[in-house]
Amino acid sequence: MTQLERRQWDVVVVGAGGAGLRAAIEARERGARTAVICKSLFGKAHTVMAEGGIAASMGNVNSGDNWRVHFRDTLRGGKFLNQWRMAELHAQEAPDRVWELETWGALFDRTPDGKISQRNFGGHEYPRLAHVGDRTGLELIRTLQQKIVALQQEDFREYGDYEARLKVYQECTVTRILKEDGAEGGDSEDGGRVAGAFCYERESGRFFVLEAPSVVLATGGIGKSFKVTSNSWEYTGDGHALALLAGAPLLNMEFVQFHPTGMVWPPSVKGILVTESVRGDGGVLRNSEGKRFMFDYIPDVFKEKYAESEDEGDRWYEDPDHNRRPPELLPRDEVARAINSEVKAGRGSPHGGVFLDVSTRMPAEVVRRRLPSMYHQFKELADVDITAEAMEVGPTCHYVMGGIAVDSETAAAPGVAGLYAAGEVAGGMHGSNRLGGNSLSDLLVFGRRAGLHAAAYAAGLDVRPAPDEGQIDAAAAEALRPFGAGEASRGDAVGPDGPGDRPAENPYTLHQELQQTMNDLVGIIRREQEMEQALEKLAELRVRAGRAGVEGHRQFNPGWHLALDLRNMLLVSECVARAALERTESRGGHTREDWPGMDSDWRRVNLYCRLAGTEEGAATDPAAGRIALTRRTTEPIRPDLLALFDKEELVKYLAEEELHE
């Protein structure tokens, strides 16, 4: 039995971004003793990078907005594959979550009459994104952290201990969800009960266990499996993999969002995001011939809603009630594909992107005031003054719509009692494509719900599950394996089938090969043969990752951390590739060159990924696929929600039989 420090909590929240912090606040306010654990510094979650704003139909700038319009836009953006009840709750509750942030001290930009200002974004019918310049995520995280500190001060007054009911473990990583005795996880419907999390401290390498009957996963996305990405180092799909390994399924992992506008130059910053607010505030896209090419790429399903001429598009900024919006504000998947086509047709910018211009659209001081981060980003990283010249931009892997399958109301993962998920790690809310601004609101709406239900579940238990000791020992051995591979490579082989028979692999090399594979073969435009190749390459990488070796010791050792993250990235990448190969249509963030159309029969299909590791042989043969796919029919959309759309529009999305029903 491994001897290590153990702490008991009611709820453990894995991740300290917007979703994790909102979940932790709710759980603690409901009386649960709550721990938050994050692998980066407290405050350095991905949420802090969010720029453009948070979508909520407050109607401050256009009183025509309300939750029904927001719901409708979200379903259109997701091409009707959204878990509709989530989209409904999200649209209904987002305004309250924004107003609540204000009561906790957030300072949003204002309209001239003093209301929270709201800006335009792609796919949103009205100006809907509450914002703080282009640094909205920073304000969101600052406010949630401030609320956490306030709760800790309350505890100090009551118990003489700031961390009595809410503690943050920063720079600590969870590598396994622990279950109670006898519940191993795998592919059964009854995946047992959660009992805690196995963790290590990044600085010291020390292992510890957080025991708790409820665990909320809020670990964000998977972008670091792709070479060109706006995501930072934490986004290695940990929560997705932890859920799979604990026996919970992932939903629709083929849907990965490639944001249309990442930096393309210089190479060291390729992929860094150029916020959509640049287009929301009037920026336009041009090709090397100076043409505003987006007018050539308005798909039929959106034709009625978008301007036909540049003049009409430009008038819309001043008079949205009598003009249609410019096609630069189409949903992200459409714009990303259009840019890709222009570059492929030889009309790209010198460094393989297209031009995004604000310099000819607004005065320099307005650019600096409304887009301060973009101004500095380009000045400092690319030596480009965006008030005087156009930016070069191209698609970058940005967000994953697929994620842990959750119950819409409670955020509970099916089949594993006590497991919850919220934020980018959870699937369903955004369907096949997320609208900009809908992530920050998603974090708050479902972070709150996850915290609430995780706390209620823990409070309702008579007997708490105790973690299985065998699982703790196995988690410790798994985490130490890369050091064994390192020793083996120096001639100290560990056995006939063990890592020592072949030289150890460098985790950085494996990571680079994985990123290149996913970028080239499962990227923005997908083909059957290439995805099959990707699956073969992933199998090879899985075998080699079993020999990922590191030198040195456990004190802050980034190579070791990456070796552990590789397991997660490989699992998640296999989910993406398998699901993308299976779905023979193009929809939202999933574009098949060999199946270019959207197929309404596929609208009824959700693809679930589960771990296939319990099957005979699969667990021991790393070359065998680890993911099993199943299809499930989507739940019919409630009639009163369908009634929000015109019949002609529904005909474009729904299957024949659904229309009859």
Stretch that binds ligand FAD, among 61-69, 217-225, 569-577, 586-594 (CB under 6 A): 217-225
Which residues neighbour 592 within 8 Å (Cβ) at sequence distance 6 or greater?
526, 527, 528, 580, 583, 584, 585, 586
CA 472, CA 454: separation in Å to the nearest integer? 23
| Shortest distance in whole angstroms from residue 18 CB to ligand FAD | 4
Contact 131, 369 (CB under 8 A): no
Mapping DSSP to helix (H, G, I), strand (E, B) and coil, where does residue 210 land? strand
Question: Is there binding between residue 218 and ligand FAD (CB under 6 A)?
Answer: yes
Residues 575-594 within binding reach of ligand FAD (CB under 6 A)? none
Stretch that binds ligand FAD, among 8-16, 146-154, 378-386, 503-511 (CB under 6 A): 8-16
With respect to ligand FAD, which residue has the nearer C-beta, 50 or 404? Answer: 50
| Shortest distance in whole angstroms from residue 241 CB to ligand FAD | 9
Among 234, 333, 530, 585, binds ligand FAD (CB under 6 A): 234
Residues 48-67, one symbol each (x = binds ligand FAD by CB under 6 A, - = not), give -xxxxxx-------------
With respect to ligand FAD, which residue has the nearer C-beta, 418 or 437? Answer: 437
Q: Given the structure tokens 């836009």, which residue do they identify?
A: 73
Among 219, 396, 408, 471, binds ligand FAD (CB under 6 A): 219
Question: Is there binding between residue 437 and ligand FAD (CB under 6 A)?
Answer: yes
| Shortest distance in whole angstroms from residue 371 CB to ligand FAD | 12
Residues 254-273, one symbol each (x = binds ligand FAD by CB under 6 A, - = not), give -------------------x
Stretch that binds ligand FAD, among 78-86, 151-159, 227-235, 385-393 (CB under 6 A): 227-235
Among 12, 32, 37, 531, binds ligand FAD (CB under 6 A): 37
Q: Are strands 129-130 and 627-633 parallel, antiparallel or unpaired?
A: unpaired
CA 55, CA 52: separation in Å to the nearest integer? 10
Question: Is there binding between residue 573 and ligand FAD (CB under 6 A)?
Answer: no
Question: In 622-660, which positions are buried (b, 16+ CB within 10 angstroms) versus exposed (e)?
Answer: beebbbbbeeeebeebeeebbeebeeebbebbbeeebee
Name the residue type at position 70. Answer: H
| Shortest distance in whole angstroms from residue 400 CB to ligand FAD | 9
Mapping DSSP to helix (H, G, I), strand (E, B) and coil, where does residue 494 land? coil
With respect to ligand FAD, which residue has the nearer C-beta, 83 or 231? Answer: 231
Which residues neighbour 501 within 8 Å (Cβ) at sequence distance 6 or greater?
488, 493, 495
Contact 468, 112 (CB under 8 A): no
| Shortest distance in whole angstroms from residue 319 CB to ligand FAD | 26
Distance (Å) of CA 139 to CA 322, 344, 478, 493: 34, 39, 38, 52
Q: What are phi and psi of 412, to 5 degrees?
A: -80, 140
Q: What is the DSSP letter of 594?
A: S
Question: Is there binding between residue 423 and ligand FAD (CB under 6 A)?
Answer: yes
| Shortest distance in whole angstroms from residue 347 CB to ligand FAD | 27
- 453 burial (CB, 10 Å; 0-12 / 13-18 / 19+) is buried
Q: Given the structure tokens 């993308």, which residue do they identify?
A: 580
| Shortest distance in whole angstroms from residue 20 CB to ligand FAD | 6
Stretch that binds ligand FAD, among 13-21, 349-357, 448-456, 619-627 (CB under 6 A): 13-21
CA 225, CA 240: separation in Å to the nearest integer? 13
Distance (Å) of CA 123 to CA 114, 326, 433, 437: 26, 11, 11, 10
CA 169, CA 22: separation in Å to the nearest integer? 16
Question: Is there binding between residue 274 and ligand FAD (CB under 6 A)?
Answer: no
Residue 520 tokens read as 């080239």
Which among 410, 424, 357, 430 has a CA at the least distance from the CA of 387? 357
Stretch that binds ligand FAD, among 151-159, 421-429, 500-508, 543-551 (CB under 6 A): 421-429
Residues 122-151, one symbol each (x = binds ligand FAD by CB under 6 A, - = not), give --------------xx--------------
Question: Is there binding between residue 330 and ligand FAD (CB under 6 A)?
Answer: no
Stretch that binds ligand FAD, among 374-382, 439-447, 551-559, 648-656 (CB under 6 A): 439-447
H or E element that contains 539: helix 528-545
Question: Is there binding between residue 443 and ligand FAD (CB under 6 A)?
Answer: yes
Residues 378-417 within binding reach of ligand FAD (CB under 6 A)? 399
Catalytically annotated residues? 332
Which residues neighbour 248 within 8 Å (Cβ) at sequence distance 6 or greater?
191, 404, 405, 413, 414, 415, 416, 419, 421
H or E element that contains 370: helix 364-370
Question: Is there binding between residue 245 and ligand FAD (CB under 6 A)?
Answer: no
Q: How many residues bind ligand FAD (CB under 6 A)?
A: 42
Residue 160 tokens read as 């003489």
With respect to ligand FAD, which residue has the nearer C-beta, 206 or 315? Answer: 206
Among 10, 73, 238, 585, binds ligand FAD (CB under 6 A): 238
Among 11, 18, 256, 569, binds ligand FAD (CB under 6 A): 18
Chain mean position to CA 207 = 27
Question: Is there binding between residue 93 and ligand FAD (CB under 6 A)?
Answer: no
Among 230, 257, 287, 573, binds ligand FAD (CB under 6 A): 230
Stretch that binds ligand FAD, among 158-166, 433-441, 523-531, 603-611 (CB under 6 A): 433-441
Mapping DSSP to helix (H, G, I), strand (E, B) and coil, where does residue 179 land? strand
With respect to ligand FAD, which residue has the nearer C-beta, 561 or 604? Answer: 561
With respect to ligand FAD, which residue has the nearer C-beta, 40 or 57? Answer: 40
With respect to ligand FAD, which residue has the nearer C-beta, 51 or 574? Answer: 51
Residues that bind ligand FAD (CB under 6 A): 14-20, 37-40, 45-47, 49-54, 136-137, 173-174, 218-220, 230-231, 234, 238, 273, 399, 423-425, 436-440, 443
